[in-house]
Amino acid sequence: MSEPSIAEVLPAEYAAYEQTLAGDGGLNDARVSLALLAKSREALERSSVDDNNPDQESINAYYAVWRLCLRMVQNSNDEAARQLILDEWNKSLQEDSDITPL
């Protein structure tokens, strides 16, 4: 499923994600998704460096990557893959950063 909001902010990274994704919801897919999440977070942080106010495109991309990850949790039959993403979700919620509310 194409996510234009991600492709707009991270075109090369999203293309690599789509090529690498096996689509089986396994551990490799979880790792690939979390790598894309890390890239989207970096883009979001870069977009807010100067004025401490991230641009809407970066926010939308970050949301979209989390939706991909959480959709994988919902649809995966691989408990290790699901747990890997849930651990990142919980870690993200515990962080004390400007991105946490997003």
Give the pLDDT mean for 91-102: 73
pTM recorded for the entire structure: 0.89
B/e letters for 77-89, b = 16+ CB within 10 Å, e = fewer, are: ebeebbebbeebe
| CB within 8 Å of 10: residues ≥ 6 apart | 36, 39, 40, 43, 61
Q: Where are the alpha helices (DSSP H) in 1-102?
A: 4-9, 11-20, 27-47, 56-75, 79-94
Nearest 5°: the CA angle 6, 12, 18 is 70
Q: How sure is the predictor about 2, in pLDDT bands with cuts at 50, 70 and 90?
A: low
pLDDT in tens, 15-73: 999 999 999 999 999 999 999 999 999 998 888 766 667 788 999 999 999 999 999 99
